[in-house]
């Protein structure tokens, strides 16, 4: 089972699943051509082979010509949850991190146009870079504010995670209605505006304030 490092601990967290939220910031919804109204959130899953811990290069998939960055607040769950209420959802948070939902935008557009799933666009190996997990409960998370991403030293995405359309506990409640959450689940909570393409040689720096930090070098795709 893949694991994610925990800050201040020699024992990593086994990762059970990677669950992602779509269109959870209004400005990002608008930049992608969608209505930012508060509709029921939708979810998609990445395989655990998508997890890319701190210190590893990100390799662009050979079959895509446009790979975009999407910085996100990541939440870790430490208990089983089904049909949870808000209090239970808050209590299930055991840590947080900053991550990237790397997306083959050209492949995603093709899939949407043909009414097909997004797996090739979202679920490829290494598509979920993630910082070490900062242990903490919901009260600790509320002491943080801003997620940001810089590409080669220039900030491209920056927002308060409080600007989410669906707040973190609400997402957990909603998700627990459809699937039983389990210890080790990672929840990628959506990206703010400013998504854009990366190319080999780019250096991506993602942050959650000064609490979580992720540095990723973009490598060339493997020859095919």
- For residue range 45-98, what is the model confidence (pLDDT) as tens digits? 999 999 999 999 999 999 999 999 999 999 999 999 999 999 999 999 999 999
Cα–Cα distance list, 91 to 6, 14, 43, 136, 138 (Å)? 19, 19, 21, 10, 7
pLDDT of residue 37: 67
The predicted-structure confidence for 180-191, as pLDDT tens digits, reads as follows 999 999 999 999
Residues 6+ apart with CB under 8 A from 33: none
Find all residues with CB under 8 Å of 53, minimum gap 6, and list them: 4, 5, 129, 130, 132
Question: Which bin fits 109, alpha (ψ -120 to 50), beta or left (φ > 0)?
Answer: alpha
One CATH from 1.10.10.10, 3.90.850.10, 3.40.50.300, 1.10.287.3240 for 3-219: 3.90.850.10
Distance between CA atoms of residues 160 and 168, nearest Å: 13
Q: Specify the residue for token string 């995670």.
A: 161
Q: What's the length of the chain?
A: 224
SS3 62: coil
What six digits make up the tokens of 41?
Answer: 């959130």
Q: Which pLDDT belongs to residue 28?
A: 56
What are the extents of the domains in the chain? Answer: 3-219
Predicted TM-score of the model (pTM): 0.94
CB-CB contact of 132 with 7 (8 Å): yes
pLDDT digits (tens, 9 = 90+) for 131-141: 999 999 999 99
Q: Among 100, 94, 129, which residue's Cα sits nearest to residue 13?
A: 94
pLDDT band for position 41 (50/70/90)?
Answer: confident
Comparing 22 with 173, the larger pLDDT belongs to: 173
Which region among 33-42, 57-66, 213-222 has the lowest average model confidence (pLDDT)? 33-42
- For residue 10 the two structure tokens come to 């020699």
What are residue 140's phi and psi, to 5 degrees? -70, -40
Residue-wise pLDDT tens digits, 1-24: 899 999 999 999 999 999 999 888
Residues 6 or more apart whose CB falls under 8 angstroms from that of 49 comprise 2, 125, 126
Strands (E), 105-223: 128-130, 134-135, 146-151, 154-160, 185-188, 196-198, 203-208, 212-219
Identify each DSSP E strand in 56-202 by its residue range.
Answer: 58-59, 67-69, 71-77, 93-100, 103-104, 128-130, 134-135, 146-151, 154-160, 185-188, 196-198
In the predicted structure, residue 30 carries a pLDDT above the cut 80:
no
């Amino acid at each position: 089972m893949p694991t994610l490092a925990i800050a201040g601990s020699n024992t990593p967290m086994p990762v059970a699943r990677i669950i992602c939220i779509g269109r959870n910031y209004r400005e990002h919804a608008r930049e992608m051509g969608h209505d930012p109204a508060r509709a029921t959130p939708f979810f998609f899953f990445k395989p655990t082979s998508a997890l890319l811990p701190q210190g590893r290069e990100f390799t662009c998939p050979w079959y895509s010509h446009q790979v975009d960055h999407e910085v996100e607040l990541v939440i870790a769950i430490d208990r089983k949850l089904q049909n949870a209420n808000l209090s239970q959802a808050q209590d299930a948070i055991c840590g947080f991190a900053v991550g990237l939902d790397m997306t083959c935008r050209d492949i995603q557009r093709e899939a949407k146009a043909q009414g097909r799933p997004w797996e090739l666009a979202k679920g490829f190996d290494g598509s979920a870079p993630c910082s070490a997990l900062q242990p903490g409960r919901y009260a600790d998370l509320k002491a943080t504010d801003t997620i940001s991403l810089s590409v080669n030293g220039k900030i491209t995405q920056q927002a308060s995670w409080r600007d989410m359309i669906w707040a973190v506990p609400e997402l957990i409640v909603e998700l627990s209605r459809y699937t039983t959450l389990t210890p080790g689940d990672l929840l990628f909570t959506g990206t703010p505006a400013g998504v854009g393409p990366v190319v080999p040689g780019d250096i991506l720096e993602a942050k959650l304030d000064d609490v979580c930090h992720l540095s990723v070098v973009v490598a060339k795709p493997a020859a095919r």
